[in-house]
């Protein structure tokens, strides 16, 4: 009766598999093992498969309360380890209603005036400035700050957050605001890396380190709105990171893209014109959730972007960091960020901004108690 024998063999096999599964589950770190186990069957997946993984993740604030400020910072603090022990992988990102900036402040007791932080118990190996172009997006900013502060603390970075706020109602200019952010941040500190960050993108994995690479880095490789895939090979939008040297090598970003679209492609082209490559984290790590919104008023699609892009190789040396003109209207050192309000003018130049739009509108959502820390700081920054 061969049947009895094969039934017996089948029964033993089932028992064996059960034993293996139980052994896996009963050991420490079983979750990782089980994930690994399932990943074996997904080996052939590229991108899409990875994007379908269930990234429930953990709380971005988990374990951060264990960090406490030492009473006096010792002169000879050890350097932080190369790999932060607080980094753990996928994070949970949701957008609960009713969040306030005061709550974000309370959750981040070690962040000091101007949105600065350094690890309390070790000397960070990295000094990173986050540059965020902004106008009328207070709601998004609140969520970004809620997630970004603990995210950066998990990575044991010495960091500062700069909001570059375009004054007036003239068409938005993301790339020019980045140039302003670069100059204004470098004026304050010798940052070794700058992250150029959209206000509506929330990182979903703390292994996506906010440090610079040997070449310009495109960090937002996998956004939910693009199905957690790169939309096209040369895409350089959302979040990117450059050292000051890399930034200057490509003459910064263009100043003349007014409205939506194209400026990030121009920046991508500049990277290669500057003789550099683009580095990226893996699809599994460079994940971002975008806060949903409609196209802003004042940031209409730029119909000239195709023509402009076609000319980048002829224009990049004459338009960029070497020609950026702007006027700082105020610099406020708020509890969670440094707010720089700037007049960047119009296509026709700096002085053509109508007088009534010269003053920055009051930014909603800013805590009133900080009004005093605002330093009126009207400066003119012509060519450098």
Question: Per rule CB under 6 A, is residue 150 in the interface with ligand BGN?
Answer: no
Q: Across-strand partners of 239?
A: 197
Contact string 4-43 vs ligand BGN (x = CB under 6 A) = ----------------------------------------
Q: Which range, of 91-99, 116-124, 302-310, 364-372, touches ligand BGN by CB under 6 A?
A: 302-310
209 to 238, contacts with ligand BGN by CB under 6 A? 231, 237
Of 9-17, 30-38, 52-60, 301-309: span binding ligand BGN (CB under 6 A) = 301-309
**Looking at the DSSP assignment, which residues form a beta bridge with residue 240?**
196, 218
> Tokens at residue 185, please?
């941040």
Q: What are phi and psi of 134, to 5 degrees?
A: -155, 145
Residue 188: is it exposed, middle or buried by C-beta count within 10 angstroms (0-12/13-18/19+)? middle
Beta carbon nearer to ligand BGN, 8 or 306: 306
What is the rounded CA–CA span in Å between residue 255 and residue 346?
Answer: 10
Of 90 and 261, the one with the shorter C-beta distance to ligand BGN is 261
Choice between 38 and 306, CB closer to ligand BGN: 306
Q: To the nearest whole angstrom, how small is the minimum distance from the Cβ of residue 311 to ligand BGN?
A: 13
Whole-angstrom CA distances from 122 to 75, 143, 161, 193 are: 11, 28, 20, 19
Q: Does residue 115 belong to the site contacting ligand BGN (CB under 6 A)?
A: no
The distance of closest approach from Cβ of residue 306 to ligand BGN in the complex, given in angstroms and rounded to an integer, is 6
Q: What is the dihedral of CA 259, 264, 267, 268, to 10 degrees?
A: -150
Among 262, 268, 281, 345, binds ligand BGN (CB under 6 A): 262
CA-based nearest residue to 308, from 175, 182, 214: 175
Residues paired with residue 349 on neighbouring β-strands, in sequence order: 346
Residue 252 DSSP symbol:
S
Mark 265-294 with x for binding to ligand BGN (rule: CB under 6 A) and - for no binding: x-----------------------------
**Rounded to whole angstroms, what are the CA distances from 219 to 16, 62, 154, 238, 278?**
44, 23, 17, 8, 10
CB under 6 A: which stretch of 30-38, 193-201, 304-312, 340-348 binds ligand BGN? 304-312
Q: Determine contact, residues 366/317, Cβ cutoff 8 Å.
A: no
Task: Compute and round to an integer the Cα radius of gyration of the chain.
Answer: 24
| CB-based closest residue to ligand BGN | 261
Which positions from 308 to 347 touch ligand BGN by CB under 6 A, shown as an x/- string? -x--------------------------------------
Q: Whole-number minimum distance, CB 302 to ligand BGN, in Å?
A: 8
| Rounded CA separation 159/150 (Å) | 11
Specify whether the CB–CB gap between 183 and 202 falls below 8 A.
no
Helix %, strand %, coil % of the chain (to 5) = 30, 20, 50
Of 12-20, 27-35, 141-149, 262-270: span binding ligand BGN (CB under 6 A): 262-270
Out of 115, 203, 252, 261, point to the residue binding ligand BGN (CB under 6 A).
261
Backbone angles phi, psi at 43, to 5 degrees: -40, -40
Candidates 23-31, 89-97, 242-250, 258-266: pick the segment binding ligand BGN (CB under 6 A).
258-266
Helix (H, G, I), strand (E, B) or coil at 69: coil
Q: How far apart are CA 9 and CA 3, in angstroms?
A: 10
Q: Which stretch binds ligand BGN (CB under 6 A): 21-29, 119-127, 303-311, 376-384?
A: 303-311
Which CB atom, from 237 or from 286, has the smaller least distance to ligand BGN? 237
Determine which residue in the list 126, 154, 305, 331 makes contact with ligand BGN, applying CB under 6 A.
305
Is 133 an interacting residue with respect to ligand BGN (CB under 6 A)?
no
The reply on whether position 306 binds ligand BGN by CB under 6 A is: yes
Q: Judged by CB under 6 A, does residue 264 bind ligand BGN?
A: yes
Minimum CB–partner distance for residue 224 and ligand BGN (Å)? 13
- Given CA atoms 74, 156, 197, 373 in this order, what sign does their dihedral have? negative
Binding residues for ligand BGN, rule CB under 6 A, total 9
Report the interface residues with ligand BGN, using CB under 6 A: 231, 237, 261-262, 264-265, 305-306, 309
């Amino acid at each position: 009766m061969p049947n009895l024998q094969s039934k017996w063999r089948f029964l033993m096999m089932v028992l064996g598999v059960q034993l293996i599964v139980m052994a896996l589950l009963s050991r420490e770190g079983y979750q990782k093992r089980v994930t690994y186990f399932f990943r074996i069957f997904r080996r052939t997946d590229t991108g899409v498969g990875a994007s379908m993984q269930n990234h429930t993740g953990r709380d971005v604030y988990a374990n951060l309360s264990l960090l406490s400020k030492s009473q006096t910072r010792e002169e000879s603090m050890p350097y932080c380890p190369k790999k932060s022990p607080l980094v753990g992988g996928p994070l949970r990102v949701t957008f609960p209603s009713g969040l306030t900036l005061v709550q974000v402040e309370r959750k981040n007791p070690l962040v000091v005036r101007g949105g600065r932080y350094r690890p309390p118990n070790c000397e960070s190996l990295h000094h990173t400035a986050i540059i965020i172009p902004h106008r009328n997006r207070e709601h998004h900013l609140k969520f970004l700050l809620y997630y970004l502060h603990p995210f950066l603390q998990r990575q044991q970075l010495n960091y500062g957050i700069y909001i570059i706020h375009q004054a007036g109602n003239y068409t938005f200019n993301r790339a020019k605001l980045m140039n302003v952010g670069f100059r204004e941040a470098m004026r304050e500190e010798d940052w070794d890396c700058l992250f150029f960050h959209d206000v509506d993108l929330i990182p979903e994995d703390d292994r996506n380190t906010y440090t610079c690479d040997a070449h310009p880095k495109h960090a937002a490789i996998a956004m939910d709105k693009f199905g957690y895939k790169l939309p096209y090979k040369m895409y350089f939008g959302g979040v990117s990171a450059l050292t000051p040297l890399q930034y200057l090598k490509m003459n910064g970003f263009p100043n003349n893209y007014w409205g939506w679209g194209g400026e990030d492609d121009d920046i991508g082209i500049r990277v290669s014109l500057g003789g550099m490559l683009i580095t990226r984290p893996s699809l599994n790590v460079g994940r971002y959730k975008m806060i949903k919104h409609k196209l802003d008023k004042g940031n209409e699609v730029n119909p000239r972007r195709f023509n402009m892009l076609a000319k980048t190789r002829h224009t990049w040396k004459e338009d960029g960091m070497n020609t950026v003109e702007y006027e700082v209207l105020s610099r406020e050192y708020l509890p969670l960020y440094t707010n720089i309000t700037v007049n960047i003018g119009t296509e026709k130049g700096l002085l053509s901004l109508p007088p009534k739009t010269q003053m920055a509108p009051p930014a909603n959502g800013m805590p009133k108690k900080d009004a005093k820390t605002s330093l009126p700081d009207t400066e003119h920054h012509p060519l450098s």
